[in-house]
């Protein structure tokens, strides 16, 4: 059918029984990007505030995936992530070890 429809064709009759209509839609998605140092230091509130921003009174269950190469390059990262969640027990719950 790509051969029948030319670039830019919006509507076309293909044969006697088939009409082709090209439609388009977009799904906008907005997200915040934060820049910080020591994101998993317990005294750095950035990650906790972003996870709880829309529902600050709720305890948020979350999981963190760490690439094997990143874990090798930063041996203490997984422990830092777990300690961070432990520092905010009222609002964060790490559901599995990173």
Map the chain to HEC letters.
Answer: CCCCCCCCCCEEEECCCEEEECCCCCCCCCCCCCCCCCCCCCCCCHHHHHHHCCCCCCCEEECCCCCHHHHHHCCCHHHHHHHHHHHCCCCEEECCCC
pTM above 0.75, yes or no: no
Sign of the C-alpha dihedral, residues 62, 67, 40, 77? positive
Percentage of the chain exceeding pLDDT 70: 89
What is the residue extent of each domain of the chain?
A: 1-98
What's the pLDDT tens digit per position in 58-75?
999 999 999 999 999 999
């Amino acid at each position: 059918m790509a051969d029948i429809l030319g670039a830019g064709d919006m509507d076309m009759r293909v044969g006697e029984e088939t009409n082709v209509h090209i439609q388009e839609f977009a799904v906008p998605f907005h997200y915040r990007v934060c820049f910080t140092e020591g994101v998993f230091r317990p005294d750095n509130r950035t990650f906790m505030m972003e996870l709880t921003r829309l529902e600050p009174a709720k305890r948020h269950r979350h999981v963190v995936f760490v690439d094997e190469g990143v874990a090798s390059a930063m041996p203490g990262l997984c422990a830092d992530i777990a300690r961070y969640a432990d520092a905010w027990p009222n609002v964060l719950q790490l559901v599995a070890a990173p």
